[in-house]
Amino acid sequence: MCGIVGYIGNKRAAPIILAGLKRLEYRGYDSAGVSTIDGGALTMAKKAGKVADLERATTVSKTEGTIGIGHTRWATHGVPNDVNAHPHADSSDNIVLVHNGIIENYVTIKKKLTAQGYAFKSDTDSEVLAVFIGMLYKTFGNFEQAVRTALCEVEGTFGIVVMCAEHPDMLIAARRGSPLILGVGNDEYVVASDAAAIVSHTRQVVYLHENEMAIVTRNGFTTKTILDIETDPVIEEISIELEQIEKGGFPHFMLKEIFEQPTTFHDGFRGRLLVDEGNVRLGGLSTVTDRLLNAKRIIITACGTSWHAALIGEYLLENMARIPVEVEYASEFRYRNPIIDSSDVVIAISQSGETADTLSAIRLAKANGATVIGMVNVVGSSIARETDAGVYLHAGPEIGVASTKAFTSQLCVLTQFSLYMARTRGMSAETGREIATALEAIPEMIERILAKSDEVKEIARQYADASNFLYLGRGYNFPVALEGALKLKEISYIHAEGYPAAEMKHGPIALINENMPVVFIAPKDEIYEKVVSNIEEVRARQGKVIAIASESDDFIDTVANHVIKIPDTLPMLIPILASIPLQLLAYHIAVFRDCNVDMPRNLAKSVTVE
Ligand code: G6P
């Protein structure tokens, strides 16, 4: 959601914070702000828009002070204007904070503070927290105690970094439901919501736990719970490299990430896939092997693109391992009083590992005794840490807001998990070998599809002005249609719907005319003929057909307006290949429409609020 950076050390804080905020902008980009303590007084610069707008419009980059905090925002409370931008100070300009999350009882606290004569400049819940801490500081005269007391009173979620002008040698960071990482350097510390803002300073980090706070000075730090119980911080090493969070010559992160897929897909099975044995070794699941063997049912929960991967996972697991699977939007699952018990295995799929609804869903599943497994990309993220066991995606940092490489890595991991489950439930080694061999060939096939980027770009040019798109597929490829439509609407703002191809006749067919491009995922599989009939129904109504088809298919060129060929593989692996041209199509259309591909309006990469 929002990005947070705090710095305390011997260097000027503002340039370090601004550089960190730019790395975190993919998390939110409605407004940005920086505050430092200089000569015992707070400096403050904030602005609606991106970090570059803040730098252009203010003198922030010249700000002095070796302690500071900054924020890039994705608005929840209050419109994204200068006043609502973070940091927020209390009424005496003594306490200042940046906040990620939502203070749910802010109205009650605000009422009490207003009754005591406190006034507010913004519409945000975060300013209420700043004023509240300021009021408690006046009462106790102790900065740390004021922060702790306030955090025990607030309901909801927070990742905060707080400074006090009267304590220019201390930063306090705390979290509940919103990630915060403390980077430990040599006499300098960087606190951030994401490792991307820390990695250029230090690789030594402490992941703060739920309801934990860090009290950081220039000479060291301590951690404790908000109930004042000391904790033992564990310093870990982060593994991401600086190049991984830079564009590397590509015009956009999204395009870079699309082109990384041959490598990221390979990384997803490297050291795991045992081709000769027709099996898979998933070290992260070794502690739950028995529980997996005895599972009566698997529930997969996720949001957004990860939910589409989950749907494909359902087809994979049921087909290969013959185990019943249910797929749930995490936001629905957690509020519908689902029936879960200790014989269930719940899988949470998440790129960020921080999505609030998914996190709450796994907590509910755990509370009901289920075994909870994570399939997560971000190492050390909340979901990764709260699950009983897990399989990392190994896709590397994904910065583009529209998920691409994480999606194919999710399919890589889900295919291997299904193969592993199938082999424990009676699938022959020979069938296992056939699947493992086909999976191993996928990275080279992705390379071949990426080589067609210009071909896809030419199709994109012809349809960049369309107002609507329909995406149709069947079986394994119905979720691919959903994902193709989601990619397009996320970054080009064209309305797009995904449907099972055969359902077209029950509604969407009414929309088809000469202005409707329809994307068919139509590989040569057992329902190919049926999909071709659907294509003909669209053509009969003058719809324009873009078909994603098998290399071995010569017929489809006679019925579709445009054909993008993908290599032939097993039907269960087609979604991986078919999603690549759809990512490219959405990308090129968005670029033709001059859209900000990496930072689409209103979206955020990591949704840490409900
Ligand atoms: C946001 C992102 C999507 C992502 C979804 C779930 O909406 O913009 O790209 O698919 O959250 O995120 P997760 O990190 O849990 O996969």
pLDDT digits (tens, 9 = 90+) for 180-221: 999 999 999 999 998 889 998 999 999 999 999 999 999 999
Domain boundary among 238, 270, 297: 238
Please compute the mean of the pLDDT values over residues 416-422 and round it to a whole number. 98
Confidence of residue 30 (pLDDT cuts 50, 70, 90): confident
Pocket of ligand 1 (CB under 6 A): 303-306, 350-352, 355, 358, 401-403, 603, 605-607
Q: What is the mean pLDDT of residues 50-76?
A: 89
390 Cα to the center of ligand 1, angstroms:
18
Does 334 score more than 70 pLDDT? yes
Residues in the chain: 610
Whether 152 is a known active-site residue: answer: no
Beta bridge partners of 221: 216
Cβ atoms within 10 Å of 462's Cβ, excluding its own = 15
pLDDT band for position 605 (cuts 50, 70, 90): confident
Question: What is the pLDDT at residue 507?
Answer: 84
pLDDT at residue 24, rounded to an integer? 86
Q: For residue 446, is it within any domain?
A: no
3-class DSSP state of 416 = helix
Domain identity same for 233 and 256: no
For residue 229, pLDDT over 80 is answered with yes
**Is the distance from CB of 539 to CB of 545 less than 8 angstroms?**
yes
96 & 230 share domain:
yes
* Ligand 1 center–CA 98 separation, angstroms: 23
Same domain membership, residue 435 and residue 291: yes
Residue 429 has pLDDT above 80, yes or no: yes
Residue 206 phi/psi, 5-degree rounding, is: -120, 125
Would you say residue 63 lies in a domain? yes
Tell me: do 176 and 219 sit in the same domain.
yes
The percent helix, strand, coil of the chain (3-state, each to 5) is 40, 25, 35
* Residue 166 belongs to some domain of the structure: yes
Number of domains in the chain: 3
Torsion sign across C-alpha atoms 352, 353, 357, 358: positive
Alpha-carbon span 77 to 103, nearest angstrom: 10
Residues 144, 89 within the same domain: yes
Burial class (CB in 10 A: 0-12, 13-18, 19+), 249: exposed
- 266 membership: H or E segment, kind and range: helix 261-269
Average pLDDT of 364-372? 95
Say yes or no: 278 and 324 in one domain. Answer: yes
Annotated active-site residue 530? The verdict is: no
Task: For residues 302 and 276, state if they share a domain.
Answer: yes
In the set 2, 164, 303, 595, the catalytic residue is: 2
Residues 371 and 483 in one domain: no
DSSP H helices, 521-566, are 528-540
- If asked whether residues 326 and 367 sit together in one domain, one would say yes
Identify the residue whose C-alpha is closest to ligand 1 atom 1: 605
| Single residue among 238, 257, 287 that ends a domain in this structure | 238
With pLDDT > 90 as the criterion, what percentage of the chain qualifies? 83
Domain of residue 568, CATH code: 3.40.50.10490
Alpha helices by DSSP H, listed for 322-381, are: 330-333, 356-367
**What single-letter amino acid sits at 410?**
Q
Rounded distance from Cα 117 to ligand 1 centre (Å):
42
Task: Among 390, 420, 440, identify where a domain stops.
Answer: 440
Question: Is the sign of the CA dihedral 70, 73, 77, 80 positive or negative?
Answer: positive
Is the separation of the CB atoms in 316 and 475 below 8 Å? no
What average pLDDT does the segment 132-148 reach? 97
Structural domain including 97 reads 3-238
CA geometry: angle 142, 193, 383, nearest 5 deg: 110
| Distance (Å, whole) CA 417 – CA 385 | 19
Please check the confidence at residue 457 and state whether its pLDDT lies above 80: yes
Question: Per the domain annotation, does 146 fall within a domain?
Answer: yes
Q: Same domain for 215 and 81?
A: yes
Let me know if residue 562 belongs to a domain. yes
Taking residue 513's Cβ as centre, other Cβ atoms within 10 Å add up to 10
Residue 189 near residue 8, CB atoms below 8 Å: yes
Evaluate whether residue 362 is within a structural domain. yes
Q: Are residues 86 and 140 in the same domain?
A: yes
Residue 445 in any domain: the answer is no
Out of 258, 300, 305, give the residue to mutate to test ligand 1, the one with the largest number of ligand atoms within 8 Å of its CB.
305
CA 307 to centroid of ligand 1, rounded, Å:
9
Average pLDDT, the chain: 94
Let me know: does 152 contact 173? Beta carbons within 8 Å.
no
* Domain shared by 87 and 176, yes or no: yes
Catalytic residue among 46, 224, 565, 605: 605
Backbone angles phi, psi at 562, to 5 degrees: -140, 140
Look up the CATH number of the domain holding residue 214: 3.60.20.10
Ligand 1 atom nearest to CA at 402: 9
Q: Are 299 and 397 in contact (CB under 8 A)?
A: no
